[in-house]
Structure 1
């Protein structure tokens, strides 16, 4: 009897715990093309999506051998299997066979104007942006492509020849680091964004890492620090200087002997990250300032029904759009449910000739700034409460910058002065991705009870660690991130 009981317990333990592992794989088309943003789901509310290369990893702990796994993507046939059959390998999806497509088209489908009317009429019914808490995984990728750089002493008094050579050598090193650096930096965290309304939110971070080579960090703050360090190294710290740039006096009493802390890394501060995440959620939840104006500002855009596909038995319109007026910014495609008229998926990019914010005083002040090549993507999941919530969001942007300014340091107590030629040109690239691992509605009192730390405590890694997020269902990294390693 004891032996039989132990045998049953062993078998049950194998069935239940034998699948407590991470499964990694790739989703492909029948022609071996990767399928990005396909969904791998276990049960109704648990799953991940593939990355841009079609790869995924999912933790199966807590599920049994008889649980079902579904792999699906818009435009492809869904496949289902038992968890005991689910292993680390490639999975191929067949194109959706649209048997009703021809019949439907001949039976006078809804016009595009009617579809867009119903989409906007149902936005408040389909999407909720206030008093929601999202469990999220966030990844930020950023780097600078230097196009031109010239930091050189133009005129100076009070410097000996060797001092000038040493000064210019350090400035040459700064130029080289900008123009030759190819390293990217990655920032990731798991946490919760608690949203009260369009204006107020709180971010709770559970775990966070940065992958960066601090020697090659090309953030705006780090470049500023490096330039400042060079100035402090070579100028007399016991003197008081007047600093002038171009036509303007920046300061007439600068002491280089003060204890100055490094410039705050604003791009990784909690406030900056919280505002970035909140803005993305607001944009994709159709707030009053949504970036998805190609849905809400229908007079600015032209639309066309590009195709009809299915998710299970649900018919979906595939709609393309492009600017009708000069005030429209984007072009792309989105998918609309025929049942609820909800947007299920959407992509956008700047249309030809379109740019974002710009600042061009190149000839007057030697400064130019342009936002360009913006693009993004969002997938929605329908929750049990009937609302659609963002499941995956990404946004990419390039910021072109140009600065050409002379900078002068003049000793207030003598005629000694140093003049720099400061010229730098490049493109700052950033990509933000957010994977929603769960969402729930909260009350105003629950929001008030949440707390937010003053900063994010990052752990800085010198190489990619595939085990770091093993207990979380996060977005599988791209190959370039997996290859990240700081060489000493």
Structure 2
């Protein structure tokens, strides 16, 4: 009998070296705050074998687990921990480090939705999720425009009586300096200002300017450098030493209207500059974005699920499903209420919003080749989403290679020999960027 008891004890001790049959209770907490982490998940071989409770306590049965096995401990917003079973038996607490991370496939909502279903639920919940009729913001807006020439040149072919022969050489030198200054710089203008925007239910929005507008501009306004009349006037008239009025005509086949010089009237008051158009409809109501408004024209895909601002969001991408659409982008949509937190979109590579190519016929071309939008919202504790930032960038490519004639008027009689014949070559890229940020007024 003693021998049987001895054999039984010996077998038990041998088995217990590699197998454990006890319950292990461990506290799961935040490494910094030491607070409990509720619903942390325990994985073994990619299978969930346990959860911490609301107080952070993990009751883990490790029956029939080998010493060499390891478990994986995960929680939303924390780095994953890998711990061997052997070490686990000697622990009464595990503290996890915070980390914003991409969620794995285990974080799935009650029903697996398709990307199309997510978009439809987003559209359906727009009025519920966004404050559209009761708003009070301080808005900061910056408008930046740039123009950069790939090539720019003016050839003065005929100066006639407007410029004396002995002065023509000096004129050519000065004209070359002007051309070089246009080519070797980025022409820029920037306006920055703030205003209050208040919208009450069933009332018109009220807008009030705050303070002065901040201005910066290079010697040539980027909006003007591609206007042929401005370009020729600024390039030639100051060097011709004449105050005569003139008309401009272009080539044998007119492409633009004739232009007659007049006194420059500048009514813009820089201190009071204020443009009320701030893409209000799009910003306050995401349904105005084309990928939602005409969602049937786009193909949507779920890229992944991510953890942002203590909430879980679908990360969706979209692209044109029909040829007439030209934008693609991405958007982050709440798993909980289907509100849009942020997104961006731009032209598909190789696409243009508009394209006119008359280089061979009229020496002119234009392409609207840039269109980029970025937007973001804040998810308030009230459950509503309010604007945080918005930006839109538009770009246009231009090309002109044409002959222009400047005919000068003296005593209301047009003299045929008082003229300048030129060839203008202009090719460049312009960009217009509007950036808007929001502060909530209380």
TM range (shorter): 0.5 to 0.7
SS at match of 2:350: coil
| Alpha-carbon displacement from aligned partner over 1:69-99 (angstroms, at most 9, x marks no partner) | xxxxxx9779xxxxxxxxxxxxx9833263x
**Is the 8 Å Cα contact of residues 404 and 423 (structure 2) preserved in structure 1?**
yes
Match of 1:176 in 2: 180
Match of 1:102 in 2: 105
**Is the 8 Å Cα contact of residues 177 and 216 (structure 1) preserved in structure 2?**
no
Selected match of 1:188 from 188, 192, 201: 192
Selected match of 1:206 from 183, 208, 211: 211
SS at match of 2:106: helix
Match of 1:358 in 2: 355
Matches within 5 A, 1:341-420: 341-383=338-380, 386-411=383-408, 412-416=413-417, 417-420=419-422
Partner Cα separation in structure 2 for residue 266 and residue 333 of structure 1? 40
Gaps of 5+ in 2: 1-75, 80-96
Partner Cα separation in structure 2 for residue 183 and residue 406 of structure 1? 24
Selected match of 1:433 from 432, 435, 440: 435
Shift of residue 155, structure 1, vs aligned partner: 2.2
Matches within 5 A, 1:159-174: 159-174=163-178
TM-score with structure 1 setting the length: 0.60
Count of residues paired in the alignment:
340
Change (3 A) 1:327 1:230: closer
Partner Cα separation in structure 2 for residue 104 and residue 77 of structure 1? 14
Rg larger in structure: 2
Partner Cα separation in structure 2 for residue 336 and residue 226 of structure 1? 48
Selected match of 1:124 from 124, 127, 130: 127
Change (3 A) 1:187 1:152: same
Gaps of 5+ in 1: 1-74, 79-91, 441-488
Shift of residue 195, structure 1, vs aligned partner: 6.2
Shift of residue 169, structure 1, vs aligned partner: 3.1
Matches within 5 A, 1:30-429: 94-96=99-101, 98=103, 101-105=104-108, 108-129=111-132, 132-158=135-161, 159-182=163-186, 184-194=188-198, 202=207, 204-212=209-217, 214-215=218-219, 217-220=221-224, 227-235=232-240, 237=242, 239=244, 241-246=246-251, 247-248=253-254, 250-251=257-258, 254=260, 260-261=263-264, 270=273, 273-275=275-277, 277=278, 279=279, 281-286=280-285, 290=288, 292-311=289-308, 314-383=311-380, 386-411=383-408, 412-416=413-417, 417-429=419-431
| Alpha-carbon displacement from aligned partner over 1:285-339 (angstroms, at most 9, x marks no partner) | 3377x3x211232211111111112345532111111111112222121111122
Looking at secondary structure, tell me which structure has more strand per residue.
2
**Is the 8 Å Cα contact of residues 195 and 207 (structure 2) preserved in structure 1?**
no
Change (3 A) 1:405 1:128: farther
SS at match of 1:274: coil
Partner Cα separation in structure 1 for residue 356 and residue 131 of structure 2? 35
**Is the 8 Å Cα contact of residues 178 and 218 (structure 1) preserved in structure 2?**
no
SS at match of 1:327: coil
SS at match of 1:215: coil
Change (3 A) 1:266 1:308: farther
Change (3 A) 1:309 1:414: closer
Change (3 A) 1:121 1:400: same
SS at match of 2:428: strand
Partner Cα separation in structure 1 for residue 320 and residue 381 of structure 2? 36
Partner Cα separation in structure 2 for residue 166 and residue 407 of structure 1? 22
Shift of residue 428, structure 1, vs aligned partner: 0.9
**Is the 8 Å Cα contact of residues 143 and 430 (structure 1) preserved in structure 2?**
yes
**Is the 8 Å Cα contact of residues 152 and 168 (structure 1) preserved in structure 2?**
no
The one of the two structures with greater contact order (alpha-carbon pairs below 8 A, sep at least 6) is 1
**Is the 8 Å Cα contact of residues 213 and 272 (structure 2) preserved in structure 1?**
no
